[in-house]
Amino acid sequence: MKEIMLPYVLICWMLVKAGVVQWTLRNATLMVGTGAMLASVLFLAHRFWSPADLTDSTTVKAPHAVLSPLVGQEVESIYVTHNQKVKQGGLIYRLKSEDTDSRLVSLNAQKAAAQARSSR
């Protein structure tokens, strides 16, 4: 915000010092009012439409998060509790792998068979 307000103040000061704008009550009110309006617009825009999180509230504001495996596996164990803060890369849950391993072997065998048929 100061990156825009400081040049505005400098330009107003230079206009008054150079004699381009007379320092009257009307001109002073217009300059200060425009500066206050610019500061308010910048503050509101920065506060409500900023991509950065300025509130130091880096928690998910949701009643719940749906965590489910993509291929229909079952969850073996859960490593977090309700409302626990989780760091990036932290382990949340572990999936059962019995069905997955046998299914992967089966799919690889089917792939090899299909490749053998297509190479004939």
pTM to 2 decimals?
0.37
* Distance in angstroms (rounded) separating the CA atoms of residues 32 and 44: 18
Structure tokens that stand for 85 in this block: 């803060």
| DSSP secondary structure letter of residue 20 | S
* Distance in angstroms (rounded) separating the CA atoms of residues 101 and 5: 62
Query: pLDDT digits over 55-89, tens only?
Result: 555 555 556 666 666 666 677 888 888 778 888 88
Query: pLDDT digits over 15-46, tens only?
Result: 889 989 898 999 999 999 998 998 888 888 77
* Backbone phi, psi, residue 90, to 5°: -70, 150
